[in-house]
Structure 1
Amino acid sequence: MKHSLSLLLFFLFILSGCSGQNKEKKVSEHSSAGKLQAGLVFDVGGRGDKSFNDSAYNGLEIAKAKYGINFLYIEPQGEGADREAALRQMAVDPDIGLIIGVGMLFSEDITAIASEFPDKKFVCIDYIHQQKTSIPANLEGIVFEEKKGSFLAGALAGLVIKTNTVGFIGGMESSVIKKFEQGFIAGARSVNPGIRVLSGYIGMTGSAFADPAKGRELALGQYGRGVDIIYQAAGASGLGVIEAARESKALVICTDRDQEAEAPGFVLSSMTKAVDRALLKTVESVLNGSFKGGGVSVFGLADRYTDYVYNEKNAPLIGIKNHQQLEDIRKKIVSGEIVVDETAVVQ
C-alpha cells in the first residue's frame, strides 16, 4: 500500500492498535519490542518504479527478513514538496532510529534535519554534499560510481551498435544525471570514436522522474531518427523508454536495477546501482554499532555495487567477445588504467 504523509500520520497515531492492519501498519504496533525501526522516504516516482525506489524498499525488506528490523515508508506527493515534512515526521517519532532519504533531492533537507536530531541516524542515497556545509556526524551519504558504470554502458552500446547512432534520455536535468550522460558518451567513443549520440531530458524538476509518457515520446523520436540503442537514466519515466524500445523493436540499456523483465529481448543490459545491498550494509552497521556518519560512502565498481547486467537472458544480445572486452574495460577502470573522473561534470 502506498502511504501519503497524511495517511502515515493517521496510521501511526490513531490506528496503531486496530486489528486488520497490513504489515506496514503493524510495524508501528510492534515498535516497543526493542527492534531497530527504520523510516524510508521515497524519491519522486515512489514505490513501483521498478528502479531506484524499489531497490531501496527491497533492501529494507531483506534487512527485515534477515535481522527482524521494522520499517515504515512515505511517498512524497507530486513534485515532492512535502519531502522535508516527511523526513521531520520520521525524526520526531520516538520509535524510529534510522531515517533514509532516497535520492539526491533529499540532500539539503536531510542535512538540516539531521543537525536538529543528533540522537537519530540518517542516510541519504545519492547524497550531494554542498561544500559550504559540513555533513552532520549522524548522517551518512551514500553514492555510487554512476559515471564509471555509465562508461561501461556506453562501451557496450559502442560494441553492439549497428547504426552508429545511440541515444541518451535522462530524467531531471541535473549534475547527477549529467554524470550518466557524460560517462555514457565517453564510454561509447572509447570503442567507437565516430559514434553519434542524441541526448534528451524529460524535465528540469523532480517530476521528470515520474513521467513515462514523456519518456516514451522522447524515445520514439530518437528511434525514429536512426538510434538503435538508448541509455535511459530516468527513474519511473524510464518505463516509457522501455515501452518505446519494445514498440520500435530496438534496444534499451536501463539503470539502477535489472529491468529485463519489462521488455524481454529488448533490454540489452542495465547499469545497476545496488541500493538494496548498500542499505542492507548500512542497517548492519547500525545494528553492530559501526555506523559512521559525517561523510560519504562510495559503493563502486570494485565490489560490483555499481555494475552492469550480464546473464543467460541477455548474453545472446551482448555476445561472448563483447562481454570479455567489457570486463577488460571494467578491470582497467578499477585499476586506474582507464581514468573516469566521477567529480568532473561538464554543464
Structure 2
Amino acid sequence: MKNILSSIFFLSMSLHTQSIHAAPNPKICMILDKAGKDDRSFNQAAYEGFQTALKTLPISKESKVIDAKEDAQLKQVIRSFAKGNCAVIFSIGINNADAIKALIPTYPQQKFVLIDSIINEKNVRSIVYREDQGAFLVGTIAAIKSKTNEIGFIGGMDIPLIRRFETGYKAGAKYINPEIKILSAFVGISIEAWNNPTKAQEIALNQYRQGADIIFHAAGGSGLGVFNAAEKKENLKHKKYAIGCDSNQNWIKPGIILTSMTKGVAATVVNTIQSVIDDKFMTGTHSYGLEHDGVNWAFDSYNEKLFTEKDLEKIERIKNDIITGKIPVPDYYNEVKK
C-alpha cells in the first residue's frame, strides 16, 4: 500500500486543464472489463487501487466498482453512474472504450477516466502506459536467462496494443542476442481471448516443446494457462519459465514465473482519485513509462533466487539506458503509421 501511495508520476502529453470542483467525499465509480476483478492481472490491479483509495482517502462510502459482463449491461451501468452523482467514472481496459465514447455526448459534464485506451474529448482523462518500454526490458531479461536461445510470446486478443507488447519484447531479446529464436502466437481475435487459459496453455505447451524455455504472456486471464504449461514436465528437457504481465504475478507460481512486466495501474487509480479530491483533476492523455514506474519489471522474494548480482546489474543498466534514450525502443504504434 505504501508503494501505491508513494508512486506519484505526472509525465503527460496533450493535456487540457479542466477544473472539477469536487464535493466533500466525492463518489468514485469504476467499471471493470469482462475479465473482472479476479483476473490476477490488469483489472485486479485497478480494483486494488480503488480499494486502497476507499480505505485511505476521503471518498464516499457509496463509491462503487462493477464488472460489466455484457455490452448491454455496460451501457446501462455507464448511464446509471452518470445519473448517480459520480464525481468521476473510471473505465478499465480497452473493451469498454467504445461504449464510453458513444455515451459521452449524452453526458458532457461527466468526468471520465479511461485506463489503457484513449478518447480525445474535453471531459476525458486517458491514461496509457509505455508497453513498448516494459516489454523491451522483459525481452532482454528473457534473452539473458534463456538456456536454449529460444523464447516465446503469447498475446491475448490480436489487437495493436498487444502487437506493441510483441514488438517490444522481440526487440529487447534481439538486443541481447540477435540470433535468438522467438515464437509468437495469439489466443484469439475476440474479447474471449482474454479469458481462455485452456487455449493459452495449449499454445504455451507447443512453444515449450519446440524449444522455448521462457514465454512472456500479454493475455490477461488467459495468462494463467501459460503458467500452468510452464509447470508441466512432460517431454521438456530444460526447466521452463513464464513471464507475467500487467500486475506482479510472481507469487502465483514462485520459481516458475521468472518475472512480470508490471504497469502502475493501482498507483494511477489512487493518484487520479487524489487529484479529484484536491481539485486538480486534468483531462487529456497521460502516458507513463519506465522513468516514473509506469511500467517496470518485478523483482521480489518470489524470484530473487533466479537472478545473480551480475544479472541485476545488467538489467538495471539496460533500464537506465532505455530511460535516457541511449537504447532506442521500437514502438509498434509508430511502425503502423508509416
Same fold (TM over 0.5): yes
How much does 1:262 deviate?
Answer: 1.1
Letter in 2 for 1:177: I
Find out whether 1:76 has 2:68 as its counterpart: yes
How much does 1:329 deviate?
Answer: 1.0
CA distance in 1, matches of 2:227, 2:180: 22
- Are residues 175 and 345 of structure 1, via their aligned partners in 2, closer, same or farther at CA, if it must alter by over 3 Å? farther
Secondary structure of 1:208's counterpart equals helix
Q: How does 1:304-343 map to 2 (within 5 A)?
A: 304-342=293-331, 343=333
Find out whether 1:236 has 2:228 as its counterpart: no
Q: How does 1:192-203 map to 2 (within 5 A)?
A: 192-203=177-188
Contact 2:150/2:213 (8 A) holds in 1: yes
Q: What per-residue deviation string (whole Å, max 9, x for no partner) do you get for residues 36-92 of structure 1?
A: 1111111121110011000000111111111132421221225x4533333222212
Report how many residues are paired: 307
Q: Which residue of 1 aligns with 2:20?
A: none
Of 49, 58, 77 in structure 2, the residue corresponding to residue 86 of structure 1 is: 77
CA distance in 2, matches of 1:123, 1:242: 32
How much does 1:304 deviate?
Answer: 1.1
Of 272, 278, 287 in structure 2, the residue corresponding to residue 298 of structure 1 is: 287
Query: 113-122 or 301-310, which moves further after superposition?
Result: 113-122
Q: Which residue of 2 aligns with 1:172?
A: 157
Give structure 1 stretches of 5+ with no counterpart.
Answer: 1-32, 130-134
Q: How does 1:246-265 map to 2 (within 5 A)?
A: 246-248=231-233, 249-265=239-255
Find out whether 1:223 has 2:212 as its counterpart: no
CA distance in 1, matches of 2:72, 2:208: 35
Find out whether 1:52 has 2:42 as its counterpart: yes
Secondary structure of 2:54's counterpart equals helix
CA distance in 1, matches of 2:51, 2:34: 20
Q: Percent identity?
A: 36
How much does 1:341 deviate?
Answer: 4.1
- Are residues 341 and 195 of structure 1, via their aligned partners in 2, closer, same or farther at CA, if it must alter by over 3 Å? closer
How much does 1:98 deviate?
Answer: 1.1
CA distance in 1, matches of 2:74, 2:306: 41
CA distance in 1, matches of 2:224, 2:80: 31
Q: What per-residue deviation string (whole Å, max 9, x for no partner) do you get for residues 193-222 of structure 1?
A: 000011110111111111111111111111
Q: Which residue of 2 aligns with 1:35?
A: 25
Of 275, 278, 287 in structure 1, the residue corresponding to residue 277 of structure 2 is: 287
How much does 1:240 deviate?
Answer: 1.1
How much does 1:34 deviate?
Answer: 4.8
CA distance in 2, matches of 1:85, 1:127: 20
Point out which structure has higher relative CO (alpha carbons under 8 A, 6+ apart): 2
Q: Which residue of 1 aligns with 2:12?
A: none
Q: Which residue of 2 aligns with 1:61?
A: 51
Q: Which residue of 1 aligns with 2:114?
A: 124
Contact 1:182/1:345 (8 A) holds in 2: no
How much does 1:35 deviate?
Answer: 1.9
Letter in 1 for 2:95: L
Q: Which residue of 1 aligns with 2:137?
A: 152
What's the RMSD between the two structures over aligned residues? 1.7
Taking structure 2 as the reference length, what is the TM-score of the superposition?
0.87
Taking structure 1 as the reference length, what is the TM-score of the superposition?
0.84
Secondary structure of 1:65's counterpart equals helix
Contact 1:212/1:238 (8 A) holds in 2: yes
Give structure 2 stretches of 5+ with no counterpart.
Answer: 1-22, 234-238
Q: Which residue of 2 aligns with 1:24?
A: none
